[in-house]
Amino acid sequence: MMISRGLFGWSPPHIQPLTPVSEVSEPPESPSPYLDPSAEAAAAAAAQEQEEEEMEEAEEMEPPPAAVPFSGLFACADRFDWVLMIVGSLAAAAHGTALVVYLHYFAKVIEVLRIGQSSNPSAGIGNPSAEQYQRFKELALSIVYIAVGVFAAGWIEVSCWILTGERQTAVIRSRYVQVLLNQDMSFFDTYGNNGDIVSQVLSDVLLIQSALSEKVGNYIHNMATFFSGLVIGFVNCWQIALITLGTGPFIVAAGGISNIFLHRLAENIQDAYAEAAISYVRTLYAFTNETLAKYSYATSLQATLRYGILISLVQGLGLGFTYGLAICSCALQLWVGRFLVTHGTAHGGEIITALFAVILSGLGLNQAATNFYSFDQGRIAAYRLFEMISRSPSTTNYDGNSLPSVHGNIEFRNVYFSYLSRPEIPILSGFYLTVPAKKAVALVGRNGSGKSSIIPLMERFYDPTLGEVLLDGENIKNLKLEWLRSQIGLVTQEPALLSLSIRDNIAYGRDATLDQIEEAAKIAHAHTFISSLEKGYETQVGRAGLALTEEQKIKLSIARAVLLNPSILLLDEVTGGLDFEAERAVQEALDLLMLGRSTIIIARRLSLIRNADYIAVMEEGQLVEMGTHDELLTLDGLYAELLKCEEAAKLPRRMPIRNYKETATFQIEKDSSASHSFQEPSSPKMLKSPSHQRVGIYRPTDGAFDMQESPNTRSPPPEKMIENGLLIDTGDKEPSIRRQDSFEKRLPELPKIDVLSANRQTSNGSDPESPISPLLTSDPKNERSHSQTFSRPLSHSDDILTKVREGKDTQHRKAPSFWRLAQLSFAEWLYAVLGSIGAAIFGSFNPLLAYVIALIVTAYYGSDNHHHLRQEVDKWCLIIACMGIVTVVANFLQHFYFGIMGEKMTERVRRMMFSAMLRNEVGWFDDEENSADTLSMRLANDATFVRAAFSNRLSIFIQDSTAVIVAVIIGMLLQWRLALVALATLPILTVSAIAQKLWLAGFSRGIQEMHRKASLVLEDAVRNIYTVVAFCAGNKVMELYRYQLNKIFKQSFLHGMAIGFAFGFSQFLLFACNALLLWYTAISVRDGHMDLPTALKEYMVFSFATFALVEPFGLAPYILKRRKSLTSVFEIIDRVPKIDPDDNSALKPPNVYGSIELKNVDFCYPSRPEVLILSNFSLKVNGGQTVAVVGVSGSGKSTIISLMERFYDPVAGQVLLDGRDLKLYNLRWLRNHLGLVQQEPIIFSTTIRENIIYARHNASEAEMKEAARIANAHHFISSLPHGYDTHVGMRGVDLTPGQKQRIAIARVVLKNAPILLLDEASSSIESESSRVVQEALDTLIMGNKTTILIAHRAAMMRHVDNIVVLNGGRIVEEGSHDTLVAKNGLYVRLMQTQQPHHFGKGLRHHRLV
């Protein structure tokens, strides 16, 4: 028979397969030493369930992944590990049998009743005797011995397995790393050299470790329980043991059948599809269709809700029948026991022991089965790792000779080469190049010309397919690899930093003294910034330490090359990402480094290499021109053409802003040495605070905005930039940013000066044109407070708001209170009441059942009168059977009603989260954490944790507290003294249960964290594998990693001992408390406070009840684990959007004239605050005008549209509509008056009709068709078989880009908004349909509407009133098509590159920037 563990607050593992509520499925860490008539059902049910799942899977699944045999897990064990594993296994087996041995003694406790019986047959039971007391004391002592044994066994078991697991996985880890660092470069080309290979190891090794250590021990422990339980059961009373085994299958069947239904239902549940709405949030906002999205999401949730309720129903019935049958089978066995007693074949103690021993063995088997999943995972993971470990290392020959001295003549002779990962693409084909000793040769060419492959060939990361590379006439294949690499210094575009100190990063695997390192740093111009750091050369950098700017990283990388003192230098476009000042500093350091060394420079910006000795021009893997800069210009070949293209694109480039952690002052200055006269700013005040940098845009502080202020400020043309009141002609120069390092050092933390109070006068002298907004030199975390300083003066109330919001942000880090969760479920109070009644009935059955069983046992011993015995036993067995039937009802109530409550709550939370998401500004969705995938994951999963934290917790809490209360009441009624002693032991037991759970949960966590840190070094090494190999630093990385592993091992040794101790001790307490209870029972009986049968009843009731009490605390770690998800749910729900869509007090004017003005706007995307997109940008469009915006890609064209739609707010400056700031208008009203056609039109997966009326749901059929006609779409739609009711596939797959574009235009026509924003997408459309789309757009523009058109093609230009040419976030030219053509400036260059018809696109190909 198997009474399932659920009686005692545990639920069998098949409960709730849907929700990630693992409280239900987590197996208890070890069976309780208390008697527990609970559960084999669970056991068997789970086993059954597993078999069923396996059968189902077998039908559908592909072949299982490859795995090593089980013994393969121990491949890395040495002698000591085997000793540890054997000792650990013995201890685990001893620990597992302890509980069953305790049961054996429990039989003897019951047998004490016989003593009472024999001593006074006439009076029945009763006369307390010294003999009974003595016997009780002996038994209590035996239980204490068991407790001590369990303590020792538990300690040894846990610590041995933890230790050996850590030891074996350390070996696996270091072998893997060794092999990884010795692979060929082609391996990293194929598998990618991001950190994935490393993080894969981490997760795989953790799987192996869990299988090796915790799970094997657990398995042995549980199997020992299984076997010893059977043995003890059959020894005590084989008849009962057999019946128990016989009734098992029925109970299993009840659980199994409900499981089949649950699986079927679970397969039908579809998670509501929120992703579509979130992915297309811009379209959704532009057409103000939030309400529609919420409605359709809510509708799709209804189906999930219905299935969820069905599942609760099946679950309640399934569990009810499982438990009910288990209780009835218990009644059957006790009834059979009566015959055994009357025939004298067995006595009461043996019957009870046999019953429980078999139940325990079933539980043991069930628990053991839960480990198989971990074993499989471990075996699969081991297969992946060992496969990698057995890979042959790099095939490159490391041996060879070294040259006595190196002159540095390099020659490439007829080299053919392609990468192993892409052999079909030739990179070099017949390439010749000679680099004379001590000369610098620069390689230039278009993208993909093969110039970058020269460095890896020189470093011998790869060998050429054909041809040879010679150094001083010797083929480098014959040279010793390590020696060759030590002769070459490499400085790359992305300097590779390991997560170590600066000193180690410069030494990079070389043994160098600090003096040598400092010397190298001085030559590289890095010493100053390093010594200004608090810890100097010991400062940690890399991902685990201080973030350095690009410039600083490059300087470190140069210092590294200087330290190597190589004969040959390879420079890979070192200064690519720097601004001009930093570039100059780095260039100086490089010039020093290049002196007297043969140098190969890979250049992408031609302006940097004019002073190279030779310039080699490559095209399609061959050398096409070579000579000095001037020679190549006179040739007028490819080099000259590349140079022209670069000039075309070389307008004021977008400045990357330096790392904002630095407080630095910037000034614009010409990139020529002549400009020194302008380096000192005219007003000394300007030097003080970085915030004063651009006071030009501050508005006066008197509340209202002055709308009329400078209605027409336009940026002056770039040729005449104003600096400090002086005109500088910067027509052909690149402006560069000069940073005053000296100030940075003198004032490390500049005080923030409140700019608002600064008087307006200071601003005129300052520089209104600075490309850098001061905002960006400060910390992005305080974004809100900055926008206060730099944009319009904020009114007082805004200030308060900011504070409130910041307060809120910190507040929400806390997990929500239980009360808040309760409020969410108030609507379902009736379900909660019904569910609680069920839970309470079911909970109270735990001690009641124990009491009735105790009554039957005393009846077995009670009288020699067989008739009386039969009456008693029959009566009580009937009562137990009735309890079984009530259990079905109680379980049904509990699971069904709490299930409904949980499902409704989940649905409500999802709806709340979804509508909260749709209130946020677009910038929020740009954040990595809030991508469409992550958000839909959070909607799907996190909401269910709210349910787990509330309704499931409540259900278990009620069930268990009732159990304890009823037990206490029974105890008090029977004998209050013993009840008090039992109550006193409860806190101890509770603490031990919590400790055990937390220790086991926390064990792996601390160590995992350390492993993650250790693997950072590795991940860095793999990311920068080229540099690691080039500097032969592989061994250094290996050494570092081993050192980290050693540290972790020491840590985990102590950790393992501590956990083992705590685990053993908590087990010891369980048995010891039981012994205490027994001892006190003996004393009460001796002193005549109660008779023996009463004492026994009470002892049994409390043995059961403690179990129920201890159990809910086992959930503590689970609940703690889930706190984060709960927090994230309420963070989303409570977030205050930065751009409030629902402000009803905002303006909603009756009509719109449509004049638009952007006034001194600074803008950068919140996700990339260091890149300024628009800088002091002004543009005016009068009502009814059509303005075309053109420019190179990335010059900020599309940003203008985003600002108009208020997807973002500018960092500084204003966007005005009809003379009022956009922020004053109601957001949804504003968007209703804007018609947007995006570059990539979004088509939803519904019918074409719904896609068009997306803009206006109440539009009539005629209006919709008219809109389609205007958009040139009616014709193609009518030709489709279903016309307007044609379904466009998942996200509109079945349409061509041109058709999608026309549907999007129809949508805008239907919306009929007074202002049009067109981001012309014709670049992605084939020319035929492009013409049709073109006509549609023309028709659209002809209307008398204000239009901003982002144009990519010349054809559009002739219809517009004004053309604005953008570059680097500023307007550089403006006028009609003809005036701009006459100017012959950037516009004309754009038109040329745009042959035949797209710009932007053509330019992208030619831009060498």
**b/e per residue 941-955 (b: at least 16 CB within 10 A):** ebbbbbbbbbbbbbb
* Residue scoring higher pLDDT (396 or 707): 396
343 by Cβ neighbours in 10 Å (0-12 / 13-18 / 19+) ranks as exposed
Tell me how long the chain is: 1409
Longest dimension (CA), the chain: 131
* pLDDT for 924 beyond 70: yes
Min mean pLDDT across 304-318, 900-914, 943-957, 1100-1114 is at 1100-1114
Q: What is the rounded CA–CA span in Å between residue 1225 and residue 840?
A: 57
The one-letter amino acid code at 1281 reads P
The one-letter amino acid code at 770 reads S
Contact 733, 685 (CB under 8 A): no
Give the up-direction half-sphere exposure of residue 1088: CA atoms within 13 A in the CB hemisphere: 1
Helix (H) or strand (E) holding 1178: strand 1174-1181
Is the whole-model pTM more than 0.75? no
* pLDDT for 59 beyond 50: no
Contact 689, 769 (CB under 8 A): no
Q: Within 10 Å of residue 578's Cβ, how many Cβ atoms?
A: 20
pLDDT-based confidence at residue 183 (cuts at 50, 70, 90): confident
pLDDT for the residue 579: 64
Q: What is the rounded CA–CA span in Å between residue 321 and residue 619?
A: 79
pLDDT for the residue 118: 58
* Residue scoring higher pLDDT (242 or 1334): 242
* Residue scoring higher pLDDT (545 or 818): 818
Question: What distance lies between CA 613 and its chain's CA centroid?
Answer: 50
Q: Could you report the per-residue pLDDT of 385-403, keeping only the tens digit for each?
A: 888 888 877 666 677 888 8
What tokens does 896 get? 């069904």
Three-class secondary structure of residue 395 per DSSP = coil
79 by Cβ neighbours in 10 Å (0-12 / 13-18 / 19+) ranks as exposed
* pLDDT for 980 beyond 80: yes
What tokens does 213 get? 């250590």
* Residue scoring higher pLDDT (1107 or 949): 949
Contact 361, 227 (CB under 8 A): yes
pLDDT for the residue 1000: 61
With a pLDDT cut of 70, the percent of the chain lying above it is 74
The one-letter amino acid code at 1374 reads E
Contact 1339, 1309 (CB under 8 A): no
Q: Which residue is associated with the tokens 């409030």?
A: 1140
User: Span 798-818, mean pLDDT?
Assistant: 48
Q: Could you report the per-residue pLDDT of 260-283, keeping only the tens digit for each?
A: 888 888 777 665 566 677 778 888
What tokens does 298 get? 């809510």
Q: Could you report the per-residue pLDDT of 148-173, keeping only the tens digit for each?
A: 999 999 899 888 998 898 889 889 88
Dihedral sign of CA atoms 119, 124, 127, 133 in order: positive
Dihedral sign of CA atoms 1077, 1078, 1084, 1089 in order: positive
* pLDDT for 511 beyond 90: no
Nearest to 567 by CA among 441, 437, 400: 437
Q: What is the rounded CA–CA span in Å between residue 432 and residue 199?
A: 41
pLDDT for the residue 727: 41
What tokens does 1368 get? 């680097």
What tokens does 1196 get? 């900020």
* pLDDT for 446 beyond 50: yes
What tokens does 4 get? 């399932």
Q: Could you report the per-residue pLDDT of 1345-1377, keeping only the tens digit for each?
A: 888 888 766 666 767 888 888 887 888 888 888
Contacts of 215 (CB under 8 A, 6+ apart): 371, 374, 375, 378
Nearest to 776 by CA among 39, 264, 1369: 1369
pLDDT-based confidence at residue 425 (cuts at 50, 70, 90): confident
Q: What is the rounded CA–CA span in Å between residue 152 and residue 1385?
A: 87
Dihedral sign of CA atoms 1102, 1104, 1107, 1109 in order: negative
* Residue scoring higher pLDDT (1018 or 1107): 1018
Q: Could you report the per-residue pLDDT of 629-670, keeping only the tens digit for each?
A: 888 888 888 888 888 777 665 544 444 443 333 333 333 333
Please give the mean pLDDT across all residues of the chain: 75
Three-class secondary structure of residue 770 per DSSP = coil
Tell me phi and psi for residue 399, to 5 degrees.
-85, 170
The one-letter amino acid code at 937 reads M
CA 1275, 1281, 1286: angle at the middle one, nearest 5? 85
Nearest to 350 by CA among 342, 365, 335, 340: 340
pLDDT for the residue 575: 64
Q: Which residue is associated with the tokens 């706007």?
A: 1161
* pLDDT for 797 beyond 60: no
Q: What is the DSSP letter of 534?
A: T
Cis peptide preceding 65, ω within 30 of 0: no
Strand order in the sheet with 474-475: 428-435, 410-417, 466-471, 474-475
Contact 896, 934 (CB under 8 A): no
Give CA separation, 1360 vs 339, 1354, 1364, 1375, in Å. Answer: 105, 11, 11, 10
pLDDT-based confidence at residue 1393 (cuts at 50, 70, 90): low
pLDDT for the residue 1322: 52
Dihedral sign of CA atoms 1278, 1283, 1284, 1290 in order: negative
Nearest to 880 by CA among 323, 72, 293, 206: 323
Q: Could you report the per-residue pLDDT of 448-492, keeping only the tens digit for each?
A: 788 888 888 888 888 898 899 998 888 988 888 888 888 888 887
What tokens does 1048 get? 């972790």
* pLDDT for 1252 beyond 60: yes
pLDDT for the residue 709: 38
User: Span 918-924, mean pLDDT?
Assistant: 88
Q: What is the DSSP letter of 215?
A: I
Q: What is the rounded CA–CA span in Å between residue 475 and residue 490?
A: 20
pLDDT for the residue 890: 96
* pLDDT for 1323 beyond 70: no
Q: What is the rounded CA–CA span in Å between residue 630 and residue 178?
A: 50
pLDDT for the residue 658: 38
* pLDDT for 25 beyond 60: no
